[in-house]
Amino acid sequence: MTSNHEFFIDPSRCIGCQACVQACGECETHRGVPMIHLDYVERAAGVQTAPVVCMHCEDPTCARVCPADAIKQDDRGVVLSAARPRCIACSNCVLACPFGVPKMQVRYDLMMKCDLCYDRTSAGRKPMCAAVCPSGALFFGPREDIEKSRREKPVNEFQFGRQRVRTKVNIMTAPDNDVLSIDIADFLPRETPDMHPRPGARPGAPDAADAAIWNEWNSGPAELATAPE
Amino acid sequence: MVMTDPDPKAFAAGCAATLVVVAGIWLGSRGLKHFDPALAWYAIGSALAAFAVGYRFTLWAQRPPSRMYFKRGLQLLARRRFKFPISSFKNETPAVSGFDASTFQRLNTSAASLPALTLGRSLASDFVAQDFILHRSIYRWVMHLCLSGGCTLAFAVTFPLVFGWVHFEPSNGHAEMYRVLLFGFDVDAVHVQSVKARLLFNALNISAALVLIGLLMAATRRVTNAGERATQTFLEDLLPLLLIFAVTATGLMLTVSYKFMAGRGHSTIAGAHFISVIALLFHIPFGKLFHMFQRTCSLCVSLYKQTGETGPRARCLRCEKDYASQMHVSDLKLVLDQLGFDYRFALSPGEIHYQDICPACRRRMLALNHGRAVGR
């Protein structure tokens, strides 16, 4: 990989064209099986989509919960897909990843996930998804380039409750943010299915969560990338 | 490199494994009566390698995720009832979901189908047929069967010979008949010209041929597959193949030496064979080949999955969809705690663990939080 090139994600730029999904399946390390996730956030309420690649955590939870030492991290910090001889298909990594990235391929008894197009990036080329993304939601290049051209700021730290996670992949966020804090209370339904109030969910949640969650409640989330969890 | 103190449990397990090998040699060879002194260094190497495997296995099995699977696997196999929390929230906080935080779900394992049957099926499927590899690729399945079958056959022949468990004696009064003795007991007699005897005496050559086919296929794949070429490393992927090749090639050269070269160079080749075998045995606990021991965990996973499918299910707090077994989610919370991860969100009141949100909703949470942060 060109040493100063990094991966940047800006989900708000995603237009849901699926070019990344198609291109991802061309990667040699998992040919024919796209690893990028492209979900509708709330399909019934809008067309917002969420592209998610592996964020390549500095201390990957997926690798630490693997009972078979199947997930390795290389010296550049890339967290590789499960080693085929070792993976025992327990799904620990699928459930533990805070970004919801690993995919369990039930038929193969094997976890597979984005490996930052290892065959390409190790040879100095762009990952497939970033190479074809028409809207710049997925960008691979020097940090200076994206800092010059965007008003958002790249960060690679996330706060999940009490857990701080540092990643190799960056997400674009507001200029005054150094960390992207994940809030869940505002995005939970306010009532349980049996209509009891759910005290964990705060009133005054943003509209996006509000209307859409109830639509999703009835219809279920639609997914563009259909690989099973 | 940071040197750490030896792990007492792993050390004890390593010593126990060595003792088992030594005791096996002593008892199986009838107090060394049938032990072949020419193979003594192989026996010593095997006993030391047993220590390394025992040490490494115990060290690995003590890690929180593997320990959890082994523990649950044994509980399920023994049909012991165990409990796990079903609450999404910490016990000391008031219940804030439909679950009662103070209750524990008791899983009646006897309700599941026979654990021994599941285990047997998993053994046949994962270890003998290895059909999970067949689903990935026919080429890799044939390759792996040749390698694992050839190596297993070779180990099945050499260890009993080295340990003095099996030996051959000429039959009284019949120069061309050999008696086969297992642990000192007569188990068979073969005529030296019979097909059975030829197969028996050439078992190592047959296993070498199988291994060579597997190695050739593996080498072809390592050279031609772009994905493998990108991700393979010398220590993890190439060294094991080279070591197996060294053992196979020097073993075959011994046959060539005594059959076709009147024993020329035999002692040099035998020395090279010994070194390659010992190198392979000592590589097993520290490299890719250790996966043959780690696969044992997949037996526990089979039982775990089967029980999880029929037991209580976890539903995502956001989309309410069933996404895993509750046992798995609860156990993973414990494992994460043991590993030092804390994905709990403090709410008012109570706490939510991120494990109670399904992976698909976690991806949506990322987009929703990002959207809010950038004001879109």
In a domain, A143, yes or no: yes
Q: Tokens standing for B123?
A: 């053994």
Query: In this predicted structure, what is the pLDDT of residue B348?
Result: 74
Residue-level pLDDT at B109: 47
Does the residue A225 lie in any domain? no
Confidence of residue A225 (pLDDT cuts 50, 70, 90): very low
A176 and A196 together in one domain? no
Phi then psi dihedrals of residue B165, to 5 deg:
-80, -35
What residues in B contact A225, CB-CB < 8 Å? Answer: none
Q: pLDDT for B195-223, tens place per residue? A: 999 999 999 999 999 999 999 999 999 99
- How sure is the predictor about A101, in pLDDT bands with cuts at 50, 70 and 90? very high
User: Do A95 and B348 lie within an 8 Å CB cutoff?
Assistant: no
Same domain, B350 and B255: no
CA-CA-CA-CA torsion for B142, B144, B148, B150, nearest 10 degrees? 50
Query: Is there a domain that residue B42 lies in?
Result: no
| B14 pLDDT higher than 50 | yes
Q: Which residues of A touch B328 (CB under 8 A)?
A: 91, 95
Retrieve residue B189's tokens.
């007699």
pLDDT of residue B77: 84
Closest CA to B305 of A94, A10, A43: A94
Residues A144, A84 share a domain: yes
Chain A residues within 8 A of B342 when measuring between CB atoms: 161-163
Residue B2: its pLDDT value, please? Answer: 54
B258 pLDDT above the threshold of 80: yes
Residue A199 pLDDT greater than 80, yes or no: no
> Among the three residues B270, B297, B324, which one is the final residue of a domain in this structure?
B297
Looking at the fold, whether A66 and A32 belong to one and the same domain comes out as yes
Q: How distant is the Cα of A147 from the closest Cα of chain B, in angstroms?
A: 15
A chain contacts of residue B229, beta-carbon cutoff 8 Å: 119
The neighbour count for residue A203, using CB atoms within 10 Å, is 8
Q: Is residue A172 part of a domain?
A: yes
- The reply to whether A210 and A140 lie within a common domain is no
Q: Among A59-63, B188-192, B337-341, which is the least confidently predicted range?
A: B188-192
Q: Is the domain of A195 the same as that of A159?
A: no
Domain count, chain A: 2
DSSP result, B6-56: PPHHHHHHHHHHHHHHHHHHHHHTTTTTT--GGGHHHHHHHHHHHHHHHHH
Q: Are residues A80 and A172 in the same domain?
A: yes
Residue A228 lies in a domain: no
Interface test with A, best of B222, B353, B363, B376 (most A CBs within 10 A): B363
Q: What is the CB neighbour count within 10 angstroms for residue B187?
A: 10
Q: A188, B365: Cβ pair inside 8 Å? A: no
Specify whether A112 is located in the same domain as A177. yes
Across chain A, what does the average pLDDT equal? Answer: 85
Q: Which among B97, B226, B346 has the least Cβ separation from residue A161?
A: B346
| B157 part of a folded domain | yes
Global ipTM? 0.86
What residue numbers bound the domain in which A169 lies?
Answer: 5-182
Structural domain ending residue among the three candidates B274, B297, B320? B297
Domain that holds residue B322: 72-111+311-374
Q: Same domain for A145 and A202? A: no
Structure token pair of residue A29: 């390390």
B-chain residues near A192 (CB < 8 A): 97-98
| Judgement on whether residues B341 and B361 belong to the same structural domain of the protein | yes
| Pair (B124, B104) in one structural domain | no
What's the CATH code of the domain at A157? 3.30.70.20
Q: Is residue B14 part of a domain?
A: no
Q: Which residues contact A23 (CB under 8 A, 6 or more apart)?
A: A128, A129, A131, A132
Q: Are residues B151 and B283 in the same domain?
A: yes
Query: Is position A54 within any domain?
Result: yes
Residue from A29, A88, A151, A183 whose CB has the most chain B CBs within 10 Å, to mutate: A88
In a domain, A229, yes or no: no
Domain-located, residue B35:
no
Does B6 map to a domain?
Answer: no
